[in-house]
Amino acid sequence: MTSLIYLVPLAIGICIVGLVAFFWTVKSGQYEDPKGDASRMLYTEDKPIVDEDDL
């Protein structure tokens, strides 16, 4: 049971990191054009996903 002392905080920590990452994807507009983004990788050269000015 002692393993819980670090396992529980670890789980919570991972969850928070995941949440923060998700919030960032929402904020940076990565769900604005699911249809376009899905096919964009087939066509365009590598570039930043979102233009810095649009943030």
Partner 1 sequence: MAETVAGTIIDGEFCPSGQTTAQDLARMQSEKAQNLFEKEKQAEALIPYVQTKASGEQSLDLMISGAHCAGCMAKIERETSALPDILLARMNLSTMRLNVQWRGAPNKAGTIVARLEELGYGAKPFNMELEPVAQKNQATSLLKAMAVAGAATALIMTMSVGIWDGSEMSSTTRQTMHWVSAAIAIPAVAYSGQTFFRSAWGALKNKMTNMDVPISLAVILAVSLSIYETIHGNAHTYFDAAVMLLFLLLIGRFLDMRLRQKTGESAQRLAAMQASTATLIKPDGSVMSVPASMIKPDDHLLIAAGERVPVDGEIVKGRSDIDTSIATGETLPLASTIGDKLYSGMINLSAPLTIKALAVSGDSFLSEISKLVEAGEQKKGKFVRIADKAARLYVPIVHTLAILTFVGWILYSGDLRTASINAIAVLIITCPCALGLAVPAVQIVASGRLFKKGVLIKSGDALERLAKVDTVVFDKTGTLTLGSLQLSNADDISKTALETAALLSRASRHPVARAIAAAAGSGAVADNIKEVAGQGVETKIDGKLVKFGSASYVGATDQTDAQTESWLRIGRAKPVRFKFKDTPRMDAKDTISGLVDRGYAVELLTGDKKSMATETAALLGIDTWQAEVSPSDKLARLDELKDQGHLTLMIGDGINDAPALASAYASASPAGAADVSRAAADIILQGDKLSGLITAVGTAKDAQKRVVENLSLAVVYNMFAVPLAVFGFVNPMIAALAMSGSSMLVTLNALRLKLH
Binding partner 1 (rule: CB under 8 A), the pick from 6, 24, 28, 33 is: 33
Q: Amino acid identity, residue 20?
A: V
| Residue 6 contacts partner 1 per CB under 8 A | no
What is the DSSP-derived secondary structure letter of residue 53? G
Whole-angstrom Cα distance, residue 30 to residue 38?
A: 11
Dihedral sign, Cα of residue 25, residue 26, residue 29, residue 33:
positive
| Residue 31 contacts partner 1 per CB under 8 A | yes
Q: Which residues of the chain form contacts with partner 1 (CB under 8 A)?
A: 1, 4, 8, 11-12, 15, 18-19, 22-23, 26, 31-36, 38-40, 42-44, 51
